[in-house]
Amino acid sequence: MAQHAQPTQRRKALSIWGLAEAFCVLLLTATLAGFLARGWWVFELTTHFRPHLAVILSAGAIVWGARRRWRWAAFCAVGAVLNVAVVLPHCWPGNAVPATDGVPLKVVLLNVNTANTRSDSVLQFLREADADIVLLLEVDQRWLRELEPFMTTYPNQSVQARDDNFGIALFSRKSWKSAKILNLGEAEVPSIAAGITVGETAVQLLATHPLPPGSSEYARLRDEQFKRIAEHARKQSEPVVVIGDLNATPWSPRFVDLLTESALEDASKGRSIQGSWPAWLPLGRIPIDHCLVSSGVGVVSKEIGSRVGSDHLPVIVTITLPATNVPAVAVGVK
């Protein structure tokens, strides 16, 4: 019996490390595919997991190095460096959008999830957040009924409830000059454009929720909506804030195109990786819920809230608006 045990154990060990090699090949392929993301929507999906690839490949390099498998250790190390090189500029503190002197505005974004039944948790979070502006996504008629106690505290509202996952509701304690529902592109999912006044300072806010890129057609429609968002932002003569579940991470080339074409800055830049989806997977979350701001708008803070029953975590952003034409007594953060 002892004579047969050793070959069996060897075959088992070889099988385990063979699987480890195959897994590393998969991770390295995903890493390289991300650099070809403009060519195929499937490749773009790999870009959303750059931080995860960096961590796992770094661990792989250490494990292979401990086993003196230097070739595999080198492969994993190079893959980790490639992913870190993409992610690091976004997380580097020196690249953060700075806070500026001006009029403060607190904004909350929450994709409530149409199927979420924890309205009590959502309402508690919204009361505690006490934001000036609240954007809720995936709102249907049931959610509007559940949110009625909260809605009465926000005098300015623009709502389009839907039976699918693209209902949208914008609430503001600040006055607004106008608010209208827009369809940006062919997807026919609603966005809200609002001209909001804070004191004597005006800001153009666009709330939006493009389709998730789960197919070539959905990816095309999302990318088209990004172009319409950029066009809308460029047309504004006042400061611009874009908020929403954009179904893209900062490492997607399509997201980078959106920032470039709109001349907007990502409020999370320089503020670590703030994954918001899926809420139930702490180590696997990716940042797809965003706040983008135009030049002159400062970012005081951007934080991720706790779980409220949705598959998304809330996003809380405090920004400062240029204080042009605002009386001196009205300026400053209290």
CA distance 238 to 203: 6
Residues 110-152: pLDDT tens digits?
Answer: 999 999 999 999 999 999 999 999 999 999 999 999 999 888 9
Q: According to CATH, where is 3.60.10.10 located in the chain?
A: 93-330
The CATH H-level superfamily of 93-330 is Endonuclease/exonuclease/phosphatase (3.60.10.10)
Along the chain (334 residues), what's the average pLDDT of each consecutive run of 10 residues?
53 73 95 96 96 97 94 96 95 87 93 95 96 97 93 93 95 92 94 92 95 96 97 95 97 96 95 93 95 94 96 97 54 28
Residues 270-308: pLDDT tens digits?
Answer: 988 999 999 999 999 999 999 999 998 999 999 999 999
Provide the edge-to-edge strand list for the sheet that holds 175-183: 175-183, 190-198, 201-208, 240-245, 289-293, 265-266
Phi-psi category of residue 101: left, alpha or beta, with phi > 0 → left and psi -120 to 50 → alpha = beta
CA distance 233 to 227: 10
